[in-house]
Amino acid sequence: MENEYKRKFFIGYSNCDRKVNLSVLNSLYLIQDMMTEYFGFLKSDNIILKSENNAIWVLAKTKVHFNKYPKWRDLIEGTVFTTGIKPIRVETEAQFKDKDNNVLFYANQETCVIDLTDRKIRKINTVNYPTGVQIKEGINKEKYLRLNTEFTEADKVYEQKIHSTDIDFSYHTNNVSYVKYILNSLNSDFIDSHKITDFEIHYINESKEGQKLSIYKKIKDNEIEFLIKEENREIARANLKYIKE
């Protein structure tokens, strides 16, 4: 079965940061759109799974590498394909290229299926997913990081209440909202003087509207580790790598 799904994106003003580059946050929204449309292309998106299998796809991990940020008014093309199918997860890569076919940034993701009744992980072969999809090798050769840094209350940056605008089709907090909470812990001076080269986030538990999240940050050499918690539950962990500009 055909593996690739392609789509063009025009980088509008609202997609950009103060440098008129595509912002890191909005790059994650582009990746999310590519992935959800790809599963629709495979006739296996959450609308289909919810109605036919009483299940939905949930994102477990995202790993993004930035070579160069597209700018306001640029037209770029995204391509997404499957890089692996395991019993309980699908592995994908999304690539974004400029008009000269140069790779601007790419993202690897692991996606699982959970049952809507008991919220437990289900095997891929129990839902509508075309197991005959061609497997293609991607650019990324690096494994996901082991995000196990220990945090204390001294590392806590701020608290964030989850509002209705953070909730998506799953009736839980949208994956990109967690990225927004993490990036909001960085001030404008940092954004102005550094380039984020890599961002990785692992989703551990779900959260709901009305809950209060605590965001923790620990700065290391050329990287920052993050933790998001809801009381004593870990919700997500992330790592951000950067260089000084």
Domains and CATH numbers, the chain: 1-144 (3.10.129.10), 145-245 (3.10.129.10)
pLDDT digits 0-9 by tens, 99-121: 999 999 999 999 999 999 999 99
Which residues on neighbouring strands pair with residue 51, listed in sequence order? none
Task: Compute φ and ψ for 121, nearest 5 degrees.
Answer: -70, 135
* Distance between CA atoms of residues 181 and 171, nearest Å: 18
Residue 124 is predicted with a pLDDT of 97
Helix/strand number for the chain, H first, E second:
4, 11
Residue 243 is predicted with a pLDDT of 97
Q: Is the dihedral of CA 157, 163, 168, 173 positive or negative?
A: positive
Degrees to nearest 5, angle at CA 197 with 59 and 100 = 95
What number is the average pLDDT over the span 238-242? 98
DSSP 8-class letter at 98: -
Residue 121's contacts (CB-CB under 8 Å, 6 or more residues apart) are 88, 112, 113, 114, 115
Residue 1 is predicted with a pLDDT of 60
Residue 14 is predicted with a pLDDT of 97
Residue 5 is predicted with a pLDDT of 97
